Amino acid sequence: MIAPAMKRGSGELAILTVLAEERLHGYEIAKRIEQQTSGVLRFNLASLYPLLYTMEKRGWVKGTWEIAASGRKRRCYRLTPAGRKYLAPLRQEWTRFFRALHRLAGVAHA
């Protein structure tokens, strides 16, 4: 299980990554992240929406009311050009972080 602080830090990366693939509404974002991380990262109302609203305020995502595949009205989020610009270095940063951890773990196990 991943510690809450790590989850918070990785939340932005997770949301931006799934929205880079396609526009999704809140529940779909949470399900997609859960599926793609095999249940390691899970979002609920209290963890997903404050983050989404903050990211929307920063201009990284944009939410608009649309009719979803289910035929119901849902607020769908898409990645903005600013969000795409922010995602690229964020991905690199996390990749570097995980590589460093991997190296550290490798040394510890040697």
Partner 1 sequence: MPDWEQQLKERLAELKLAPAVQEEVIAEFAGHLEDAHEGFLKQGIGADEAARRVRNELSDSRQLARRIQRAKQGEENMNNRTKQLWLPALVTSGLGTAFLAILEDEGIRRLVLRTPPVGPAQAYPLWLLSLPVLGFLGAYWSRRAGGAISARIIAGIFLSLIYFAVPFMILPIALVVDHRAPTIGVLGLAWLLLNWAFLPCLAQLLGALPAAIGGRDERAEDRSAA
> Is 70 an interacting residue with respect to partner 1 (CB under 8 A)?
yes
What minimum distance in Å lies between the beta carbon of 76 and partner 1?
Answer: 10
Q: Which stretch binds partner 1 (CB under 8 A): 3-11, 15-23, 52-60, 78-86?
A: 52-60
CA angle centred on 61, ends 2 and 96, rounded to 5°: 45
Query: What is the C-alpha to C-alpha distance for residues 49 and 3, in angstroms, rounded to an integer?
Result: 19
In the bound state with partner 1, the residue whose beta carbon lies nearer, of 38 and 70, is 70
Q: Which amino acid is present at 35?
A: Q
How many residues does the structure list for the chain? 110
> Is 69 an interacting residue with respect to partner 1 (CB under 8 A)?
no
CA angle centred on 21, ends 80 and 19, rounded to 5°: 50
Q: Site residues (CB under 8 A) for partner 1?
A: 25-28, 30-31, 44-46, 49-51, 53-54, 57, 70, 72-75
